[in-house]
Copies of this chain bind each other. A is one copy, B any other.
Amino acid sequence: MPDQISELTTNRLSLYLRYLNELYGKGVRTVSSKVLAEQLGVHAALIRRDLSNFGELGVRGVGYVVEDLRRELRSILGLDRKLGVAIIGAGNLGLALADYPGFRREGFRIVALFDNLQTKVGSVSRGGVAIHDIRDLEEIARREAITIAVIAVPEASAREVVQTVVEAGITAVLNFSPGALRVPPHVKLKSVDLTVSLESLSFYLAREAGRSQNGD
């Protein structure tokens, strides 16, 4: 496996996997990079390059065997390892993420929510994820082999919470809180900015408005 696989590549691998899951569910046996390209809006050559990074997965004239490629992608993405996830912050966002169907569907274990509000501790999300005291994070993280923390706290608490997460020995952080966070080099931090998606729609609407004015 090459040493540098960019985040854009792993995002595309996720995209391929999602579509392969769909094909697998429908009982489709094989798929060509051409069909993948058409369905996913990614160039066929880029798909072949992405997948060739991980050895020869395709068969000339047949394309990819859906079941094999799906299993291979799940393994490449580490999804066969049932990684334990803690959600920090049991507000609306944390509760929504704890019950987000896609996480479980792809094989993540949502172990628990954590909060510092004693009125929340002891209750559960609608989907049944327990809310624990943030002070118990280290103990529960060790016991339940939690490797990923999802940060869903207000901006003002985010820095402190990240420190708590790092001290609990968790090495991967998915951050939904705005503002820049710092982590030590051995911890992988990924921040999700939901505004980006809204801006891509805004861009589309601005162009459409420009077109109507030009009489296109």
Interface positions of A (Cβ within 8 A of B): 1, 5, 7-8, 10-11, 13-15, 17-18, 22, 75-79, 81, 83, 85, 91-93, 95-97, 99-103, 105-106, 108, 126, 147-148, 150, 155, 171-174, 178, 180, 188, 190, 192-210
Nearest B residue to A100 by beta-carbon distance? B194
Q: Which 10 A-B pairs have the closest CB atoms?
A: A78-B206, A93-B96, A102-B195, A92-B96, A78-B202, A92-B95, A14-B196, A172-B201, A10-B200, A14-B199
Known: A92-B99, A155-B101. Contact between A201 and B178, CB under 8 A?
A: no
Q: Are B96 and A196 interface neighbours, CB within 8 A?
A: no
Alpha-carbon separation in the docked complex, A92 to B202 (Å): 24
Report if A77-B202 is in contact (Cβ < 8 Å); known contacts: A91-B96, A101-B155. Answer: yes
Task: Contacts A11-B200, A14-B195, A92-B126 known; list 9 others, CB within 8 Å.
Answer: A1-B207, A77-B202, A78-B205, A92-B92, A101-B155, A102-B195, A103-B194, A106-B195, A148-B202
Q: Give A15 Cβ to nearest chain B Cβ, in Å.
A: 7
Q: Is the CB of B205 within 8 A of A147?
A: yes
A–B Cβ pairs within 8 angstroms, 6 of them = A77-B199, A77-B203, A77-B206, A78-B206, A78-B209, A102-B195
Copies of this chain, tallied across the complex: 2
A205 smallest CB distance to B (angstroms):
6
> Are A18 and B188 in touch, CB under 8 angstroms?
no
Q: Whole-angstrom distance from the CB of A76 to the nearest CB of chain B? A: 7
Residue numbers in B under 8 Å from A197 (CB-CB): 174, 190, 192
CB distance from A12 to the nearest CB of B (A): 9
Alpha-carbon distance between A103 and B85 when the two chains are bound, in angstroms: 27
Are B199 and A106 neighbours in the complex by a CB distance under 8 Å?
yes
A102 to B193, CA, bound (A): 8
